[in-house]
Amino acid sequence: MSAIQDFVVLTLVKAAPLIYAALAGVVCERAGILNIALEGQLTIGAFAAVAVSFATGNPVIGLLAGVVAGALVGLLLGFAATRFGVDQIVAGTGINLLALGGAAFGLTVVFGQPGASAEVSALGVPGERGLIVGAFVAALLLHLALYRTPWGLRTRASGENPRAVRSAGIDPRNVRLIATMLGGALAGLGGVYLSLGELDLYSDGMTAGRGFIALAAVIFGRWTPFGATGAALGFGALAALQFVLQRSGVPSELMQALPYLAALAALTGIAGRARAPQADGVPYSE
């Protein structure tokens, strides 16, 4: 039936950026870094992609720019958290502010107008579809990487007991740094989807709290790539549902609030007491 098809498609469209952001959250938290800055990374990725696409006329280069920008922000968070001993939550909040301000600032600098950018060359429908598929591929790759490779072992160990990793001769700070960079790249890609995949421009606040929904997805998904993807799909379905119910008299704000309310409910342990990585959010210093 066409309505169901539409619903599924809409769910995938809404879920894709969430999946990318949630995967970013998973890899960071598995390494021990609580990444509150997902929202900021989505923002920077979205903006950088549009700005570069505008400058070069090429959306693919814009995509790469978004990924690189996200990775750089991840690097900033990683450095702040591991080398400078800045509290991860504080740093993450700072990055969110910085990203929003920076993107708004960038709008004026690059496009000469606040609020929203001009329309740029975007990835079009094939690009959008590719990114949606890419999200699931990324989930699979991350799963394999975390559980089947030496890198994954070290990353998981760093999130549980960085001291032990140190005694094994590896510096957990470097492991965490790589993880936040990878996470930043994934989140950046999610941002690219928002600006160049779904649409063809950047506008102030277009990330609309998705970075925070992604955090909830990580918890629901018990800090695993597949789990987080599933949770993100669930939230995407909720967003799609909101669309469908738009005209039915149910307040749109309620629908929009559902993912956040669900996350609050998750905190009560309804979703089961899953255990975060033991050193999640705990700084490691020598």
Partner 1 sequence: MGLGLALIAAAAMLLAGANPLLGFWALFRGALGGVPQISETLVQTTSLLFPSLAVAFAFRAGLFNIGAEGQLVIGGLVAGVIGARLETSGLIAIPLLLIAGSAGGAAWGAIAGVLRARFGGSEVIATLMLNIVAALLANYLVVGPLHSPGVAGPETAELPHSSWLPALLPGTRLTVALLIALALAFVLRWVFDRTVFGYELRAVGDAPEAARRAGINLAKTAFVTMALSGAMAGLGGATIVTGVLHRFNVSLSPGYGFIAIAVALVGDLDPLRIIIASFAFGILQSGALSMQALAHVPKDVVSFVEGLAIVALAARRFVAGRKQMTALAPE
Partner 2 sequence: MYPGGVHAVAGVDLDVFPGEIHALCGENGAGKTTLASIAAGKLKATGGTVVAHGNVGLVHQHFELVDRLRVWENVVLGREPHRGAELDRAAARAEVEKLSREYGLAVDPDAVIEGLPVGIAQRVELLRELARDPAVLILDEPTAVLAPAEIDALFATVRALAVRGTAVLIITHKLQEVVAHTSRITVMRAGKVVARLETAQTNVDDIARAMVGGELPELAARLETTPKPALAVRGVSAGESSLAVRNASFEVHGGEIVGVAGVEGNGQSALADAIAGVIPYRGSIELDGVALPAGDPARRIAQGIRTIPQDRRREALVLSWSIVDNVALGDQRRPSLRKGVTVDRGAARELAKRIVERFDVRTPSVDTSVSALSGGNQQKVVVGRALAHEPKFLLVYQPTRGIDVGAAALVQSRLIEARNAGVAVFLISFELDEVLALSDRVIVMYRGAVVGTFERGAIDRARIGSLMAGAA
The footprint of partner 1 (CB under 8 A) covers: 34, 36, 76, 80, 84-87, 89-91, 93-102, 104-105, 108-109, 114, 209, 212, 215-216, 219, 251, 253-254, 256-257, 260-261, 263-264, 266-269, 279, 282-286
Beta carbon nearer to partner 2, 247 or 275: 275
The footprint of partner 2 (CB under 8 A) covers 148-150, 152-154, 156-157, 160-161, 163-170, 278
CA neighbor of 193 nearest in space, from 105, 67, 94, 52: 67
| Nearest-approach distance from CB 76 to partner 1, in angstroms | 7
Classify the phi-psi angles of 34: left when phi > 0, otherwise alpha if psi is within -120 to 50, otherwise beta: beta
**Residue 148 binds what, of partner 1, partner 2, none (CB under 5 to 8 Å, by partner type)?**
partner 2
**Residue 160 binds what, of partner 1, partner 2, none (CB under 5 to 8 Å, by partner type)?**
partner 2
| Nearest-approach distance from CB 157 to partner 1, in angstroms | 15
37 vs 141: CA distance, rounded Å: 23
Confirm if 215 and 25 have CB atoms less than 8 A apart: yes
| Nearest-approach distance from CB 156 to partner 2, in angstroms | 7
The DSSP code sequence of 51-115 is: HHHHHHS-HHHHHHHHHHHHHHHHHHHHHHHHTS---HHHHHHHHHHHHHHHHHHHIIIIIS-SS
